[in-house]
């Protein structure tokens, strides 16, 4: 009866058992070897227990018991653990591949902040494309991640693509991932980082390389809708003191880069669907959606003005 619930974890956008990357495939493989091996050992132990109970009237000799303890209690576990350890260690170089910068098609810098993700794509030609709360990567190309934190320890984890790596203030940790299947995956913050830790996530999108190149080229330019209505309200209300929108004078990096916020999968770092209504509710009262978020509430503004800003932001694709 519990099986359907247990199997829910085996697929979906945030499952390490539904691999779409090189590294997560190794993790899933290791998991299944351990589970199936563990099941056999469990059956063996319980079988021995039942056998022992069934023949309690006819105890084995001291010598027989000694042999059983030596072989079943010392030799068998030692040899089994030796093989399991060797198997796991043998997988390790593939789990944390030592990509040199030359191997990696590009470096993605991700900085953890309470409670969102600053993202920057560093291209081989030296240019930099800023984004936030979403990481895109080309299928079949190894991508190097440079992981940092601005405040407390966060942890970067895209379960469908690979293992987690902590983001530690003052350190620059490396991780390299290779997506093997296109798709959109959810990536939660995997280290408790404050009140809204559970509300801190991002979407990871693995795209075909040609689609990815086109997408990245579009990200490097201002969004088409940047001169639309709502822009004045955004700038007049001081949003540019924290946010950057490419193509306007808003150029701050305290909050997420909003240059192409309309094309992202979610709003508020993985919390709300990307709709005008969700953007408007976030502007009006971020603390209600994301407790302890640094952004102040703008609920005192006229609703029409908030709606105009939300519509403009949604148009930044």
Which stretches of the chain bind other proteins, using CB under 8 A? 62, 66, 74, 78, 81-82, 85-86, 89-90, 92-93, 96, 98, 174
The set of residues, in sequence order, having a beta carbon less than 8 Å from that of 311 and lying 6+ positions away, is: 229, 230, 276
Minimum CB distance to other proteins, residue 98 (Å): 5
Q: Which is nearer to other proteins, 36 or 85 (CB)?
A: 85
The set of residues, in sequence order, having a beta carbon less than 8 Å from that of 256 and lying 6+ positions away, is: 116, 118, 132, 133, 243, 269
Cis peptide before 115 (omega within 30 of 0): yes
Q: Which is nearer to other proteins, 23 or 307 (CB)?
A: 23
Going across the sheet that includes 116-122, the strands are 128-132, 116-122, 106-113, 142-149, 173-178
C-alpha pair distances (Å), 24 with each of 16, 19, 33, 231: 6, 5, 14, 42
Q: Which is nearer to other proteins, 37 or 183 (CB)?
A: 37
Q: Which is nearer to other proteins, 112 or 163 (CB)?
A: 163
C-alpha pair distances (Å), 2 with each of 8, 61, 184: 10, 43, 28
Minimum CB distance to other proteins, residue 88 (Å): 9
Minimum CB distance to other proteins, residue 165 (Å): 10
Minimum CB distance to other proteins, residue 90 (Å): 5
Q: Which is nearer to other proteins, 93 or 126 (CB)?
A: 93
Q: Which is nearer to other proteins, 76 or 192 (CB)?
A: 76
Q: Which is nearer to other proteins, 49 or 86 (CB)?
A: 86
Determine if residue 73 is left, alpha or beta; phi over 0 gives left, psi from -120 to 50 gives alpha, anything else beta: alpha
Minimum CB distance to other proteins, residue 15 (Å): 25
- Distance from C-alpha of 278 to C-alpha of 268, rounded to nearest angstrom: 9
Q: Which is nearer to other proteins, 5 or 98 (CB)?
A: 98
Beta-bridged to residue 154, according to DSSP, are 167
Q: Which is nearer to other proteins, 78 or 127 (CB)?
A: 78
User: Coil, helix or strand for 177?
Assistant: strand
What the block records as the tokens of 249 is 């004078």
Minimum CB distance to other proteins, residue 92 (Å): 6
Minimum CB distance to other proteins, residue 62 (Å): 7
Range 117-126, long-range pairs (CB < 8 A, 24+ positions): 117/200, 117/202, 117/269, 118/150, 118/253, 118/256, 118/257, 119/202, 119/257, 121/216, 121/219, 122/146, 123/216
User: Coil, helix or strand for 56?
Assistant: coil
142-149 and 201-207 strand pairing: unpaired
């Amino acid at each position: 009866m519990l099986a359907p619930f247990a199997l829910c974890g085996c697929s979906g956008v945030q499952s390490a058992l539904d691999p779409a990357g090189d590294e997560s495939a190794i993790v899933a493989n290791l998991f299944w070897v351990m589970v199936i091996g563990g099941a056999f050992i469990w059956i063996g132990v319980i079988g021995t227990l039942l056998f022992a109970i069934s023949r309690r009237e006819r105890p084995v000799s001291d010598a027989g018991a000694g042999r059983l303890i030596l072989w079943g209690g010392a030799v068998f576990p030692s040899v089994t653990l030796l093989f399991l350890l060797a198997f796991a260690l043998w997988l390790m170089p593939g789990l944390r591949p030592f990509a040199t910068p030359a191997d990696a098609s590009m470096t993605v810098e991700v900085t953890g902040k309470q409670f969102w993700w600053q993202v920057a794509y560093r291209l081989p030609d030296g240019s930099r494309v800023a984004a936030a709360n979403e990481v895109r990567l080309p299928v079949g190309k190894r991508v190097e991640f440079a992981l940092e934190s601005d405040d407390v320890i966060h942890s970067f984890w895209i379960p469908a693509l690979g293992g987690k790596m902590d983001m530690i203030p003052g350190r620059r940790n490396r991780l390299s991932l290779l997506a093997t299947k296109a798709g959109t995956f959810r990536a939660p913050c995997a280290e408790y980082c404050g009140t809204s830790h559970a509300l801190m996530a991002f979407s990871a999108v693995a795209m075909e390389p040609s689609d990815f190149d086109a997408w990245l080229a579009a990200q490097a330019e201002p969004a088409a809708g940047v001169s639309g209505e709502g822009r004045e309200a955004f700038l007049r209300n001081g949003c540019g003191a924290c946010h950057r929108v490419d193509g306007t004078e808003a150029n701050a990096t305290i909050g997420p880069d909003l240059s192409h916020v309309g094309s992202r999968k979610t709003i508020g770092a993985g919390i709300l669907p990307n709709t005008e209504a969700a953007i408007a509710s976030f502007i009006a009262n971020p603390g209600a959606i994301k407790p302890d978020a640094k952004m102040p509430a703008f609920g005192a503004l006229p609703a029409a003005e908030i709606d105009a800003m939300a519509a403009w932001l949604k148009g930044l694709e």
